Amino acid sequence: MKKALKISGITLLIILVLLIAIPFAFKGQIKDMVKQFINENLNAQVEFSDVSLSFIKSFPQAHVSVNDLVITNFEPFKGETFVTSKNIALTMSVKELFKTTGEDPIVINSITVDETLLTLKTDKFGNTNFDIAKKDKEHVSTETETSSFSFDIENYSINNSALAYIDDASKTTIYISELNHEGRGIFSAETSELDTKTEANISFTIDSSAYLSNNPIKLDAIIGLDLANSKYTFKENKGYINKLPLEFHGYVQQLENSQEIDITFKNPETSFKNFLALIPEAYSKNIEGVQTTGDFEVKGIIKGISSEKTIPNLDISITSNNASFKYPDLPKRVENITINTAIKNTTGNVDDTYIDIKALNFRIDSDVFRSSATLKNMTQNMLVNANIDGILNLANLTKVYPVELENTLTGTLKGTINTAFDMKAIETNAYERIKNNGSASISDFVFSSEDMVNPIHISEANMTFNPETVSLSNFKARTGHSDLNATGTIKNLLGFLLSDNTLQGYFNLNSTFFKVNDFMSEEDNASDTSDITQDTESLKIPDFLDCTINANAKTVVYDNLNLKDVKGTLIIKDQKVTLKDMTSHIFDGTLAISGDISTKNETPTFNLNLGADGFDISQSFKDLELLRNLAPIAKLIQGKLNTNINLAGDLDDELFPKLSSLSGDALTELLATKVNADQGELFSKLEGSLSFIDFDKLDLKDLKTKLEFANGKVNVKPFQLTYEDITIDVSGSHGFDKNLDYSAVFNVPAKYLGSDVNQLLGKINNEEAKNISIPVTANIGGTYILPSVKTDLTSGVKNLTNQLIEIEKQKLLNQGKGKVTDLISDVIGGNKSKTDSIKKEQNKSVKDVLGGIIGNDKKQTDSTKTNATETTVKNVLGGLLGGKKKKD
């Protein structure tokens, strides 16, 4: 007995080892079999990672699985994925594995499909991506040809998969996700039954109109199979759309080039609670405790031929009479609900399908809302005719239905409107085919949002619907401290609401007080942003706006600026705001603005022209960062300013200019000015280096200068100032980083050198001598906060010496007609000793005079260098410039 058990155990072990090992031996054959099937039957690119065989998983049958299958289309859908599947498993008898090409087809008993995405697509030319089966090469011999596989399926399943159907011609899309489907039956018999269970979520859209949006569906059905006649009959079944139960009866029969359909359906329960069950649970919440009255019925007939040219006739109705509902935890009830809707097609032509909403009415408290509509020509150019008449208190929405609004709504909406249009008229702005009539108003409307620092309160708004436009006859609103009053015309409101069109309009906007911060988000107004770590998107001008706004505001407050009497026109289009004829009073003057701001590109840009007339210089340059960076020293100047500034550049995420990107120019004129030199470090440094200048007395009246700026630097074109009878030539540049690089040349008249110099010039007895001046250059560097001033005396020394010599030469040349030739000869080269004598005499005179001015009583010795004169001049000038007197 023990020996028998031992032999049996060894035998079983050998069989188990063989069952595990044999698949490895057949793995290559299985791969070849799959590749052969693909090559013989499919016209597409097919890839898979592996094919495996097991005798254990489905014992006693063989289990074959294909992993990571990807099927990619050829033309005209080249490169598009048709199918992806994580795993497709087949079971079959072991003997089927040993069949070779030419024998009977391999019989498949079951199929399991896991995590598969199937995309069915039809383009606008009628091409389909699922027509990938190879055509028969010899039509005459099709009766004798056999496929490599046949199916004798007893069960199949599709797990956690999805299907997408996209028809570009009819603009129809169907998305089925989270699909789980299984069926059991015998397909080999001519007649049998198939027991199926299906669960999925479905979305259904026609021409941008969503009829189902991720709605859960469920269907348990027993389907009679008449394979001989290709007829499939619904026997016992019950389906659900959301939680609305539906029963189906009838059949579908496959004909040669079409299908015959004869199906009726209805909801077995007629309680109005079934209507709430039709609404997705995410919106309707738990409806178990909802109190309802009245009925709700859905029934329909789908009967006829479905082919490439026809659809079955449709007769579907959705009705409810005198119904009501109330959620147990909400205070109000919706009553007098009437629904009367029909979906019909009596011709079989898909274009003749229409929806007729005869009534969709309800009442909340004493507010009655009535509506009706017809939708025709659904798949081509849909025709819409709708009527709305009623009152709706917006605050009641959350009191009767468990809708979760991001923002609180209050206010009363009233309207009596009729509209008739076709969708192409909406898309193409063919206003002559859009017929609107009626009026609508809203009162005491309050809208609040976490993105706004203050709620907006619309006290009154009235609109009149005309055939082509909507007139805004009155609009009054407040938010924070700001008030708004507007009138205007909206040209394509329906195009904006129903399509992707822009909102076109022309508005007149008035305000007595407009504070920009009232329209900013709390985050924008926060004083401490150190805790804000999340990324923020750039502010953008809405791309759906195409409007013109004529603005008139008595006071506009922006940051620390108060603008008075703001007037002008804003043109908003294509994510761009164009400002025309904008004027305002600020800084005791007038500001004019024109130009544009665009946020269409990734980096926002601007191009503006600013004109200031009569600005208070000190205040404007102190409060406006842009002006302060263009001329930081100007805030120390009192008086009036006229300027024209042309500038362009990039904007940051908050739509403020990036200084490093600015380019442009400015022309500035100063009027009746005074310098507060004691308030600036730069003037203090200049006065310390130039003792003969009192900058408080600097004359800037009627000064005109031009600035050019680019690459973060402001270049100042040369201009001239006057201090009494001293002219100052200024030029240079500074950066927005406050670095300075300027040169100021002070042309100092000789009289500032003292009485001895003036006596010397008097002895020369020449008019030109009276106009002698000495240029003194001040080089200004460092930064505006820590400036540095260096003076250059070289040109002043040489200038004084050369002018005196030149005057003496001219004097000698003009002494007499008879001595002209001799004098020219002596001075220019004929008598070098005489010329040198003159020069030495002049140098000695200048040296003596300048030495006297600086109080140098020490007499020079014979060893004094030849440049003693220039040294002495330099010392005198050094004293004038505020430096210490140098000894010889």
Q: What is the DSSP string of 673-717?
A: EEE-GGG-HHHHHHHHH-TT--GGG-B-TT-EEEEEEETTEEEEE
- Crossing angle, helix 868-880 and helix 794-813, to 10 degrees? 120
DSSP lists the bridge partners of residue 716 as 707, 732
Instruction: Report yes or no: 630 and 605 within 8 Å, Cβ to Cβ.
Output: no
b/e per residue 338-372 (b: at least 16 CB within 10 A): bbbbbbbbeebeeebbbbebeebbbbbeeeebeeb
Q: Which amino acid is at 763?
A: K
**pLDDT tens track for 660-709:** 888 888 888 777 666 665 556 677 767 666 666 777 777 677 778 888 88
Which pLDDT belongs to residue 868?
46
Which pLDDT belongs to residue 361?
95
Cα distances (Å, whole numbers) of residue 526 to 69, 220, 551, 639: 55, 58, 28, 36
Instruction: Report yes or no: 609 and 628 within 8 Å, Cβ to Cβ.
Output: no
- Crossing angle, helix 755-764 and helix 832-853, to 10 degrees? 150
Which pLDDT belongs to residue 886?
37
Question: In angstroms, rounded to a whole number, what is the distance separating the alpha carbons of residues 38 and 29?
Answer: 14
Question: In angstroms, rounded to a whole number, what is the distance separating the alpha carbons of residues 840 and 869?
Answer: 10
User: Within 10 A of 69 (CB to CB), how many other CB atoms are there?
Assistant: 20
pTM above 0.75, yes or no: no
Question: In angstroms, rounded to a whole number, what is the distance separating the alpha carbons of residues 218 and 518?
Answer: 51
Which of 839, 668, 664, 687 is CA-nearest to residue 778?
A: 687
Cis peptide before 76 (omega within 30 of 0): yes
Instruction: Report yes or no: 676 and 717 within 8 Å, Cβ to Cβ.
Output: no
Long-range Cβ contact pairs of 767-771 (< 8 A, separation 24 or more): 768/807, 768/810, 769/804, 769/807
Which pLDDT belongs to residue 807?
67
User: Within 10 A of 31 (CB to CB), how many other CB atoms are there?
Assistant: 16
Question: Per this entry, what is the length of the chain?
Answer: 888
Which pLDDT belongs to residue 719?
83
Question: In angstroms, rounded to a whole number, what is the distance separating the alpha carbons of residues 152 and 191?
Answer: 13
Helix residue ranges, H only, 279-337 = 281-284
Instruction: Report yes or no: 554 and 511 within 8 Å, Cβ to Cβ.
Output: yes
Q: Can you say how many angstroms the Cα of residue 608 is from the centroid of all Cα atoms in its chain?
A: 22
Which pLDDT belongs to residue 145?
44
Q: Which residues of the chain fall below pLDDT 50?
A: 2-22, 24-25, 137-147, 149, 522-536, 816-821, 823-824, 827-828, 845-866, 868-869, 872-873, 883-888
Query: Can you list the positions of beta strands (E) in 423-491?
Result: 435-447, 456-465, 470-479, 482-490
Report the chain's C-alpha Rg in angstroms: 47
